[in-house]
Structure formats: structure tokens, C-alpha cells
Amino acid sequence: MGLSVVSLKYQLIVIMSSRPQRERRAPSKLANNQARNAEVAAARAAARPRTVKPKTIKPKINNIQPRNKRNLSPKNAQSRVLAILDSLSQGKNDKIYNMLYSIYRDAASTLFTRLELDDNALIASIEEQYKVVSDNIRQAGGATNTLSLNFKTSDDILNFCLLMWLDMSHDGTVGTNFETFVNSSIVKTFLGETIPYKKDTEMMSRMKRLGIITTEKTKKGVGKLKGLWPGSQFENKIKVNLPSIFGVKEPITTIAVSTKLSNSAKNRDNKPIYVTIDSESEYKSISTLIENAKYPFTTSNGRKITRYYLKPIITISNRVDPGRLMPIKGVTEEFSKLMQKADKLKSTQLYNVKDCDFKVGKTRLTLGTAGRGKFNLKINGSEVPYGVTTGEAKKASNDKDKLSKFLGDFMQILTVLSKPVNQRIVLGTLDGVLCGMYCFLSKSLMNEEPRIFIDMSFKQRNQIVMYGVSDLIQVGKNVKPQVSTVGSNFISNNNNSTEVSSGNNRSEGGGNSNNRGFMGRIFGGNKKPTNSGVVNRSPVNNGIVNNTQSVAGSSQGSVSRNSNNNNNNVSQRPPKRARNNNNNVNQPPAKRVNTGRNKLIQNLKKKSLPNFVINGLVKSYDNKRKTANQVIREANNFGKTIAAGTTAQRLGTLRRRN
């Protein structure tokens, strides 16, 4: 057998390892306990009320993963906001969303850092902003704002070219005489042909008599220039002579800061006035007039709300104008109202987002939505850049850039004339040449009275001249008919002063503040007897009124005045009563000091408001139209509006974004 002990031991191990293993089981008592415990636990779980954890719904945005609140540089923050705007555009009305997007494009980059960028919060705000803007859409008619204007005569074409030339001369984009302009490539690009100029039209003759255009221009170092040139202060002369130049009806006037225009409305609930603002003076008088026109209103379900009688509205023509951030009542106010968190934002503006298709003579002008906050502006199908500023247009060497600045105002005029809302839309402006073009198109080509609010403000008086709204606003204590215009100020029907002033500052309204008699009647200075408003009207020429004026109805009867004559043809007032210094005569009691009024004035001055605002508020207190508390509340509202505008303007200036 020869097997060793080692090999036997190895065989034994192999045999034992191949034996089947015994199945190990827990003792029956332990298994029973475990099963019983499992059943009890399951029963308890079934009986216990279940708490459902709410699911977090993440916004669906393409290619964007929302991030938490973080600090980003202004440039990076702006890029992130625009990327989120792009991703949220699906399923939305492209025109409404493009309007909202364009507002974001105009915002200075520092605005985005103020948002404390939290993607989820920003997404919620954008969605709510889109909803608010959608609710504020106001438009009438078809899908597009349309207008077709035909030149009836060759004089109409020449008059149009004259106003176009004056506008571009005022902006500094054209520096030639009129004869050269009508034969230029600019006119050919716009009208498709050059225009012959052989003789003056009737409108040109009127403008020559007023000094708006002249053949007597000299240039230092050159001498007398040949041809027709703009006269001195021509923009202002157009603005104050609209009735005599274009045959429009006389306007009515009001003071923005002290007037609640809703109280003078003939039907404020059913016939509000929509106002689209092109420009206004540094005193923001048109915006102030709109803000003051609010009034309380009770809805059909008994809810008390605040309504605007003057409703600011933004069109896409406003959005392509380089001065679109100038007015307070516009996108500038939206920066402080609409650009907030979702639960706090609101809008004070209405919107018209329809594309525009206009025809002027043979020229077709279109303005449409391009997407991503941009627009398409075309002349006869050829694209023209929009938003070109005056400075850029002055340096431009091509016609399209020069025409872009002109079209910024012109498209706004055509939009208002197309009646995008209804018959009650008004254009507010500071620009005198724009006023002339508007009146010419409306009166001469459409035979309609122009609806326009003109900012005639100067330092002591924020005055608004209103054309074409006499059927909507009644003349009374706060609204007066205009009798005669002088420079950037005018002689109203309660002004006997012969002093006149003229200004040519387009951005500030111009004007002379040294007329004590004129200012005294407004803000409680030296008073003079009022007249009945019968004045010998004549157009203004170079800021000088015809020397002799006849005024009827003064406190001493009829008065004849001649500023070149120092004789005593003027009926004098009765002599003042001589003071009696006799000590036995009782002297009149000392005038009581109105401590309440003085305290009110001190409180108003602490609020750092402009002087004309303070003066207007004090006047309303003196006339007992407002209590001291009401004056303070209104002052606080003015302060907020001015602060909002100042903040928005500090955020930056316009810039073209890719």
C-alpha cells in the first residue's frame, strides 16, 4: 500500500471538504420574535399620518442653470441678465417681450448689481414684469400702426423740406443753405428725388417776416453768405408762433406744479388723455403735470383706487429715439418702479408695441420688432441705424446716420398722427422744430388740429402750452386761453407787463426771470391790476412785440401804451394816500405774522425741492386749495419722483449694445 502518513492526511481533508454543509437556522423562538416585530412596525407605519414634502419646482430655462445670490461685476451681471432674458422668451408674445427686453438693454450696467443677482429671484421678477407690461398694453385698430400722407402741391413738398432742413440744422447734422440742401443726397435718399426751389411758399414768407429764416446771414472772416439760412433763435420762434405760421387754433395754458388738471377735465372718467413724451425741460414739467393729474376713483365693486387722467404711454417709436431716457415719465421711472422684486414691482406706464408702417409722399418708413430688445428701422426697405445721438450724427459722413437723428423725432410724430390708441393721444415735447413739423403734417396734410403739449418752462414757472385739447379740458381758474406769445414766455390774459424775453436753449426752455410784474402775479409778488385779456395780437419777430399795444378793461378804463413814447398818455392810478404822521391819529394794527405758513415754508425748504415747486405748493396753501398736511404729502411725492429720476439718470447713459 505504500502510502505515507502525509498523503493519508491530505486525502482525509479533501474528503471532508467535499461533504455537504449543514444549513444553519436561527432558533425558532428568535425568528418568531423578529417576524412579529416587523409586522408591528409595518402596522404602526401604516397608521402614522404621512407628511408630504413639497417639491421644489425649478424654472425651465434652456441652457441656464439657476444659481444662488452672488456678487458679480456690472458687466458680468448684465450679461447674465440678458442670457436669462433670452432663455425665458419661449411662449411669450414677441412684441411685448421685446419691449421689456429693450428696457433692460437701456438700463445701465450698475442697475444689475443693485439687483443682488439671484437667478431664481430674477426669473420670478422677469415673469411678473412680463405679466404687468402685458396688462398695460393699449392699442386700437389693426395689427400695425399705419398712416399715409400725401403732398397735395409742390409747395407742400418744399415746406416739408424746409422743416426737415431746419430740424437737421438745429441738430448740427446739416450746415448748408436751403438751396444746397434740397439738391443734396440726404433729400434724395429720403424722398427719392431732389426738389427744385424757385420761389418762396406762403409758409416761407411768414417765416421770413418772423426771422425764422433769413437771406441776411454773415459769417466771421467770410462775410455775407448767399442763399437762405436759419435765423437767430429760429427754433424758439417756431414754437411760440404756431398759430400765425400754420393756422392752428390758439392753445390753452396751465402751470404744471400747482394745477390738478383732472379737476378741469370735461369727462375725466371716460375720456382720459394719453401722453407720449418726446422731450421736456430740466424742470420736468410735463412729467409733473402728469403726476399731478391723479385722482381718487371708486370701482364698480367699491374698491378705491388712484387713476391717472393723463396716462403716459410708451410706443416703439419712443424706444428708437436717442433721447428716450430724458423724460421722467417713461422708461426712466420704470427703472425704479418695474425693476424690483416680484412682490414689489409695479408699472406707471402704458405701452403700445405695434409695428409701424408709414407712407409720406412716395417714401415708406417702417419700424418693426427685431427681437432681443432691438428694432428694425427702414426707409423704402433699406435699413437705417436707430438711436444715433446728436453728437454721433454730427460726426457722421453717411446720409443714413444723419437721417437717423431726424427720424428719432419724426417717427414719434407719425405714430401719434396714426392714432395708435384713439383720438385722445397727445405728443409732449420741448422741441420747437418738432412742434412745427407736427403742426404742418396735421393741419396742412390731414386738416386736423394738432394735439400737443409744449414745455415752456423757465426757472420761476413751469408752464405748459396745450394745443388741440379744448374739447377735453375746460378753461377756468387753472387753465387759461393764450392770447399772445413772446419768446419762451408769453403774455397771458392776466399779464399787463410789456417786458418780453426769449430763449434758445433747447434742453432747458430758455427764458428771462427778471420780469417782476410777471412773476409777482404768479408767486405773490408786486401786484398790478388785471385786464380783460383783449390784446392787439401780432406774431413775434426776433423776440420783439409791436411797440404799441391796446389793452381794454384795466382798473382805470382803456389804456394805450407805447414803449417808445415817454409822454403821459397812460391813465394813471389814483395817487397813494399820504401817510399821516400825526401822533393823535390811530395807526393801523401791525400785520399778523402767519407762523403756520412760515413753518410750512421752512419744512418745504428742508426737502431740497426746486424753488418753482416750493412756490407752487405755497401758492396752493395760500389759496386754501390745500391744507398744510396735504402740501407736505404732495411735496413728499415730488421728492420721490425727482429722486427716482435722478437715480435713474446717474445709472448711466445710452449705449449701443450687441
The reported pLDDT for the residue numbered 625 is: 72
In DSSP terms, which residues pair with 32 in a beta bridge?
none
The reported pLDDT for the residue numbered 636 is: 84
Q: Which of 74-88, 294-308, 523-537 has the highest mean pLDDT?
A: 294-308
Q: Which residue has the higher pLDDT, 553 or 621?
A: 621
- State the Cα–Cα distance between residues 289 and 260, nearest whole angstrom: 8
Looking at residues 184-201, what average pLDDT do you find? 96
Looking at residues 374-396, what average pLDDT do you find? 93
Tell me the pLDDT tens digit for each residue of 423-472.
799 999 999 999 999 999 999 999 999 999 999 988 767 899 999 999 99
pLDDT at residue 123 above 50?
yes
The reported pLDDT for the residue numbered 515 is: 35
Q: Which residue has the higher pLDDT, 599 or 165?
A: 165
Tell me the pLDDT tens digit for each residue of 315-362.
999 999 999 988 989 888 998 899 888 899 999 999 999 999 999 999
- State the Cα–Cα distance between residues 231 and 213, nearest whole angstrom: 5
* CA separation, residue 368 to residues 74, 85, 539 (Å): 30, 20, 41
The reported pLDDT for the residue numbered 396 is: 87
Four-point Cα dihedral 21, 26, 32, 37, nearest 10 = -120
Grid coordinates of 260: 390738478
Q: Which residue has the higher pLDDT, 156 or 457?
A: 156
Q: What is the CA radius of gyration of the chain?
A: 37
pLDDT at residue 209 above 90?
yes
Q: Is residue 432 within a helix (H) or strand (E), and if so which, with residue range?
A: helix 432-439
- Please name which of 246, 149, 164, 253 lies closest in space to residue 206, comparing C-alpha atoms: 246
Q: Which residue has the higher pLDDT, 292 or 68?
A: 292
pLDDT at residue 314 above 60?
yes
Confidence band for 606, pLDDT divided at 50, 70 and 90: confident
Q: Cα-flanking dihedrals φ and ψ of residue 366, to 5°?
A: -125, 145
Q: Cα-flanking dihedrals φ and ψ of residue 304, to 5°?
A: -95, 125
Buried b (16+ CB within 10 A) or exposed e, 513-532: eebeebbebbbeeeebeebe
pLDDT at residue 541 above 60?
no
The reported pLDDT for the residue numbered 21 is: 60
pLDDT above 70 coverage of the chain, percent:
68
Buried b (16+ CB within 10 A) or exposed e, 284-316: bbbbbbbbbbbbeeeeeeeeeeeebbbbbbbbb
Task: State the distance between the two ends of the chain, measured CA to CA, in whole angstroms.
Answer: 101
CB atoms closer than 10 angstroms to residue 154: 12
The reported pLDDT for the residue numbered 518 is: 28
The reported pLDDT for the residue numbered 56 is: 43
Grid coordinates of 547: 411797440
* Mean of all residue pLDDT scores within the chain: 78
Residue 25 is which amino acid?
R
The reported pLDDT for the residue numbered 27 is: 57
Concatenated DSSP letters for 278-303? S---TT-HHHHHHHHTEEEEE-TTS-
pTM, whole model, 2 decimals?
0.68
Q: Cα-flanking dihedrals φ and ψ of residue 265, to 5°?
A: -70, 140
Q: Residue 553: CB partners within 8 Å, gap ≥ 6?
A: 531, 532, 533, 534
Q: Name which of 1-15, 84-98, 623-637 the model is least confident about.
A: 1-15
* 8 Å CB contact between 347 and 297: no
The structural domains of the chain, with segments of one domain joined by +, span 74-135, 149-232, 235-353+412-524, 596-650
Q: Name which of 72-81, 248-257, 433-442 the model is least confident about.
A: 72-81
In DSSP terms, which residues pair with 486 in a beta bridge?
489
Q: Cα-flanking dihedrals φ and ψ of residue 92, to 5°?
A: -110, 155
